[in-house]
Structure 1
Amino acid sequence: MPTVDSVQLVVDVVAERTNGRNAAFFNGIQQEWSQRVQQYIDHGGSPPLVTNWTAIQPRTNTFLNLYLSPAENSAQGQMLETMRQHELTICPACGELGRPNTLDHYLPKNLYPHFCITPVNLFPMCDACQLAKGTKVGDAQSPRFFIHPYFDTFVGEQVLCLEINAPFDAPAFTLGIVNGLDPSHARLIRSHMRELAIERRYASFFRNQHRRLLRLVGAMRAASQDVPQMLMTIRQAAVEPSLNAWDYVFYSAVCDNPDMIDYLTNAQLPQYL
């Protein structure tokens, strides 16, 4: 969770505008704004449960300026800077390796402008996820499309799994979800994967990682190393930063597939440059 208290930030932002040209507006909405932020927290940001605030729609730009043009040393400016200085090495939305270089609004800022500087509504996300997510939140069949990185704590465990099928020199794969999830969690994971096109994006990673695996195993065998043990070690090293990081998901699938382990240990491997 962000270190800045989301409700207290409302108080601080309003206080900084006591003598500004928007003082009357912010003083007039402080109580309801705080209540709506608390409602967001109480309901985990779930779109069906967080009511929209139609009365402030004409002042959307007033809110958006707090995010887009924060004054130097302002309360929200310091909060945004702190959140952008994260140390994440994977995208928390999809698990792809790389430092996510933007902040996403879980509830889109143009639809919910009063949450545009709410810390619990902001989290780092990679460019590919942000482009795919856009301003979507859900539909009639799936009122909530996306996992919330702060409130959906079940994703702290492994929820993505990979199935690799022979022939192992040019395998097919299926990226899915682990068995045993609560049905509501499983539905949320499926919609999250679908809307962010995670399986399609994983395909390129999988092909490159598979070629790398064959080269790596060839070097292990040439050095008379224990291939299954070495692969288990690689999987263990991939536990950090996440059980849903693409590397960990890949090596878990390899290590848990006896037929593939037998192929990697004993079969003649294709030559990849």
Structure 2
Amino acid sequence: MDDVVAERQGGKNAGFFTGIAQEWRDRVQAYIEGAGSPALVQTWPDIEHKKNSFLNLYLSPADGSVQGNVLAAMRAHELSLCPACGEAGAPNTLDHYLPKGRFPHFCVTPYNLFPMCDACQTNKKEKTGDAVDPRFFLHPYFDVFVANQVIAVSVDPPFDAPTFDLAPAAGLTAPQTALVSRHLRELGILQRYARFFRNEYQRLLRLVDRLRAAGLDVEEHLISFRDHAAVPTSNAWQHVFYAAVVANPGLLAYLRNDNLPPYR
């Protein structure tokens, strides 16, 4: 924030940014201490008349500017999946955890920015929470428990045409479970995972058919697939899928011994 303010000193907004510098710093500090929670971090009505001056820092950064360099560095990530949902594919946009329309003073705060896929951003929009649940979404920097698997799939028979459910993983605290449930709901992840599950299950049956034809150990190879898919995160959709498969004795018995449907 200090560097952004210093860079403004030669422009028409020099007086404005100088005048709000200390409070801006204080509000960023409050964001950090409040872990970005919309229940704890306040809006800033006094800067509403200068809202565009903040938004332009994000929307139209000058080449080589302080914020331009930060944004470019954040967009130059090497992620291969969305950190908000775990779906494969490089996320091609930055999301504002607290939306820039209501919190313009955090529009170039790195703690408030992280890569997100288009599907998640379309569902998230400007939402933060409501009167009942003030926080809808996991924060990728402050909710440290997301380093572990926080979503889990259950696969139910009949295994030739299974059904599934996607829910918070076991072992989370009650508040964590509630937050993960809201996150899944508000980003529409269950509905999006349904198509992935259908396609991945068909791939699983084709894979198992080849393993059985080659005389290979089905469970051993599925565990290997699960472990491989845990990198870079155990919340990757493929890891969540294979973790469910190898944890399901009935499904494993079906894959080892039963006649498989013709998804080949």
User: Normalised by the shorter chain, which TM-score bucket?
Assistant: over 0.9
Partner residue in 1 for 2:233? 242
CA apart distance, 1:141: 1.0
| Alignment correspondent of 1:7 | none
**Counterpart position of 1:69:** 60
1:42-71 C-alpha deviation (Å, 9 max, x unpaired): 110000100110000111111100000001
SS of the equivalent of 2:166 reads strand
Show the counterpart of 1:191: 182
Range moving further from structure 2, 14-23 or 123-132: 14-23
Partner of 2:161: 170
Q: Which residue of 2 aligns with 1:211?
A: 202
| Correspondences of 1:119-268 after superposition (within 5 Å) | 119-268=110-259
Pair 1:82-2:76 in alignment: no
Equivalents in 1 of 2:170, 2:196: separation in Å?
23
3-state SS in 1 of match to 2:231: coil
Shift of 1:178: 1.6
Q: Quick one: distance in 1 between partners of 2:258 and 2:11? A: 74
**Cα distance in 2 between the residues matched to 1:260 and 1:185:** 29
Q: CA deviation at 1:82?
A: 0.2
**Aligned-partner residue type, residue 179 of structure 1:** A
* 2:32 paired with 1:32: no
- Supply the distance in 1 between the matched residues of 2:86 and 2:157 (Cα, whole angstroms): 25
Which runs of structure 1 show a deviation greater than 3 angstroms over 4 or more consecutive aligned residues? Answer: none
Q: Secondary structure at the match of 2:154?
A: strand
Give distance in 1, aligned partners of 2:81 and 2:28: 28
Give unpaired runs (5+ residues) of structure 1: 1-9
**1:169 match: secondary structure:** coil
Match of 1:5 in 2: none
Distance in 2, matches of 1:229 and 1:179, equals 24
Residue equivalent to 1:6: none
Provide the secondary structure at the position in 2 that maps to 1:268. Answer: coil
Partner Cα separation in structure 2 for residue 85 and residue 79 of structure 1: 10
CA RMSD of aligned residues (A): 0.6
Distance 1:177 1:15 in 2: 45
User: Counterparts of 2:10 and 2:165 in 1: how far apart (Å)?
Assistant: 59
1:15 to 2, 6, 10: 6
Match of 1:53 among 22, 44, 47: 44
Sequence identity percentage: 57
Write the deviation string for residues 20-60 of structure 1: whole angstroms up to 9, x where unpaired: 11100000000000100000001100001001100001111
**Partner Cα distance (1:217, 1:183) in 2:** 37
The secondary structure found in structure 2 opposite 1:103 is strand
The structural deviation recorded for 1:177 is 1.2
1:41 is paired with a residue whose SS is helix
Provide the TM-score with structure 1 as the length reference: 0.96
- C-alpha separation in 1, matches of 2:255 and 2:97: 42
Q: 2: CA distance between counterparts of 1:189 and 1:178? A: 9
Residue 72 of structure 1 aligns to which amino acid in structure 2? D
Give TM-score scaled by structure 2 length: 0.99
In structure 1, what is the Cα distance between the partners aligned to 2:8 and 2:212? 68
